[in-house]
Structures are given as structure tokens and as C-alpha cells.
């Protein structure tokens, strides 16, 4: 039993020539039970990149959206225009209005399309807070318990409360995907807003496993302080990870530290990267 994971959209580009790099993430999963798409990027490169990589999005069995930010759900409309009716798996908080706030601006960063519009294009949404087994190979984590004291999240990210006011966004909808193959258990991350170590702890608690074959995706370490990064590096050693593919919101300085710490186990999961899990 194996799964081929191909990074379709990411901030950086590998090959082939002609791929589009964008701020976002999308990964194609070819499994023995059919093909799935995990996230859809910002929408700029998903269709072009999939064609260049020889991936037929019309053959998808389902789509998983890791959380409700534009750089992970922005391409969903374009994908639905190809697939027609299809199951889309996400957390109930997917369409929460979301913003990024700085001293100079307030930007909307939520899903850029309305739920009804996407449903009219064929999205059959399945919302769940708990873990969901899609196939014997693929399991959505559900909500990630925040257990570590050092993973504090990104203070710039806000959402609306029931009265329409802005509050710090807990990003309870931050989901990851677990992939079981003959090589072991792997974890595919969206942005890891819940905290990388929190996600890995939850993964092992959920599955009863003791080690991980691969961890791939956005780690959100770009936005953490030196203390959080150092503790994260130290705690990664507890999981006996054989491969770690950093992408999207990891940040180049943080990726360099991951590479120095992990050595040959580290790689960049750029658009075009493909590996057999």
C-alpha cells in the first residue's frame, strides 16, 4: 500500500519548467482508493500546475481543506469548475470571516468565495470537528488539542465573534491529514496553526503509533520566536521522523535551521516535488 504525494502549489517552484509559484499550498494524493486534493492554493497556479504535472483533477474522489484561509481555499472554485459535484471535507469553522491585522492595514484573508456559490458549483461539504477516516490510507485529524505551552500562534490573525467584533483567531479549524502506507505513518500539514508539535502529539495519540515516516507541508515557524523554534527543534527528535519536507509558511531562515538539525532527512517541498509514501 503506497500513496504518491505531489506538491501542486507552493511558494517556491521546483520543476518542470512553467510551474507557477504562489503564496499557498495544494497537494495531490494518488492512493489505492482514488485521488484526493489537500488544499487548493490561492487560485493562481492550481489548474496550470496540475496540467504540467500530468494530474487530472477531473478524476478526484474528494477534496480536503485544511483551514479557512485564502491561500489554502482560494483555488477551490476553479477546481470545482473542473470536477463538478464532489465531496469536500473541512471543519465547521471553514467560512469564518478572517483578517490579518498590522499597524498599517487590515486585510481579509478568509475563504474568498461564499459557501452557497461553491455548493452551486458542486461542492458537497462535509463538516466535522472529529477525526474522519476517508479511506484505510487517509484520516483527517479533526481539531488539534493545544497541549504545548510554547506554541502560541500568530497574534496578527483575527476573526469575528458573534457580534461582528474582531478577536484573536483560535483557528480551531486547522486540520492535518494522516497518511498510512507500508512505509509507516506520514502527516500532511496545511499551515500548522495549531502548532507543529501539538499536531504530532495528536497524531500519535490518535493512531497509537510511535514514530513517523514523513512530515510534509507548512509549519508556520516563520512567525515564531527563537525560543519556540529551539524547543520545536529539540522536540522533533522525539518522533523519529525519517523525512521532513518544509513548505509554504516555514520561512527560509527557519528552514535552514531545520535542515541543519535534520541533515539528509530534510527537503524543500516545492511545487513539483513528488514522493512515494
Around Cβ 81, how many Cβ atoms within 10 Å?
12
pLDDT of residue 268: 96
Q: What is the pLDDT of residues 54-66, one digit of tens each?
A: 999 999 999 999 9
pLDDT of residue 162: 83
Judge whether 5 and 29 are in contact, CB under 8 Å: yes
At residue 249 the predicted structure's pLDDT band, cuts being 50, 70 and 90, is: very high
Q: What's the whole-number mean pLDDT along residues 164-170? A: 91
pLDDT of residue 102: 86
Judge whether 90 and 76 are in contact, CB under 8 Å: no
Q: What is the pLDDT of residues 107-144, one digit of tens each?
A: 999 999 999 999 999 999 999 999 999 999 999 999 99
What does the alpha-carbon distance between residue 122 and residue 83 come to, in Å, rounded to a whole number?
A: 8
Cα four-point dihedral sign 152, 155, 156, 160 = positive
Q: What pTM was estimated for this model as a whole?
A: 0.96
CA-wise closest residue to 153 among 199, 108, 106, 206: 199
What does the alpha-carbon distance between residue 178 and residue 272 come to, in Å, rounded to a whole number?
A: 21
Grid cell listed for 233: 527543534
DSSP string across 136-192: SSEEE--SPP---SS----TTEEEE-TTS-EEE---TT---EEEEETTEEEEEES--
| 3 state DSSP class of 70 | helix
pLDDT of residue 65: 98
Task: Tell me, rounded to whole angstroms, the distance of Cα 158 from its chain centroid.
Answer: 19
pLDDT of residue 197: 97
At residue 153 the predicted structure's pLDDT band, cuts being 50, 70 and 90, is: confident
Burial class (CB in 10 A: 0-12, 13-18, 19+), 227: exposed
Q: Which domains does the chain have, with CATH numbers?
A: 4-276 (3.60.15.10)
CA-wise closest residue to 76 among 61, 59, 64, 93: 64
Higher-scoring residue by pLDDT: 224, 55? 55
Q: What's the whole-number mean pLDDT along residues 154-173? A: 90
Amino acid at each position: 500500500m503506497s500513496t504518491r504525494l505531489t506538491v501542486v502549489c507552493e511558494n517556491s517552484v521546483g520543476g518542470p519548467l512553467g510551474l507557477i509559484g504562489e503564496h499557498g499550498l495544494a497537494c495531490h494524493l494518488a492512493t489505492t482508493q482514488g485521488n484526493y486534493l489537500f488544499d487548493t492554493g490561492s487560485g493562481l497556479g492550481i489548474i496550470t500546475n496540475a496540467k504540467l504535472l500530468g494530474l487530472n483533477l477531473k478524476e478526484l474522489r474528494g477534496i480536503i481543506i485544511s483551514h479557512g484561509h485564502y491561500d489554502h481555499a482560494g483555488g477551490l472554485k476553479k477546481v470545482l469548475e473542473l470536477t463538478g459535484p464532489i465531496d469536500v471535507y473541512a471543519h465547521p469553522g471553514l467560512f469564518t470571516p478572517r483578517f490579518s491585522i498590522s499597524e498599517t492595514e487590515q486585510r481579509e484573508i478568509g475563504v474568498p468565495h461564499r459557501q452557497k456559490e461553491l455548493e452551486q458549483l458542486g461542492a458537497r461539504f462535509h463538516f466535522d470537528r472529529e477525526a474522519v477516516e476517508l479511506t484505510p490510507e487517509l484520516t483527517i485529524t479533526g481539531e488539534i488539542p493545544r497541549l504545548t505551552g510554547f506554541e502560541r500562534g500568530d497574534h496578527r490573525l483575527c476573526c469575528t465573534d458573534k457580534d461582528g467584533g474582531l478577536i484573536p483567531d483560535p483557528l480551531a479549524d486547522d486540520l492535518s491529514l494522516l497518511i498510512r502506507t507500508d512505509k509507516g505513518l506520514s502527516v500532511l500539514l496545511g499551515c500548522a496553526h495549531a502548532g507543529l508539535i501539538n499536531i504530532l502529539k495528536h497524531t500519535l495519540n490518535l493512531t497509537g503509533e510511535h514514530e513517523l515516516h514523513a512530515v510534509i507541508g507548512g509549519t508556520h515557524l516563520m512567525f515564531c520566536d527563537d525560543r519556540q523554534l529551539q524547543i520545536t527543534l529539540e522536540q522533533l527528535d522525539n518522533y523519529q521522523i525519517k523525512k521532513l519536507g518544509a513548505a509554504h509558511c516555514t520561512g527560509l531562515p527557519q528552514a535552514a535551521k531545520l535542515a541543519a538539525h535534520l541533515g539528509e532527512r530534510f527537503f524543500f517541498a516545492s511545487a513539483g516535488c513528488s514522493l512515494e509514501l
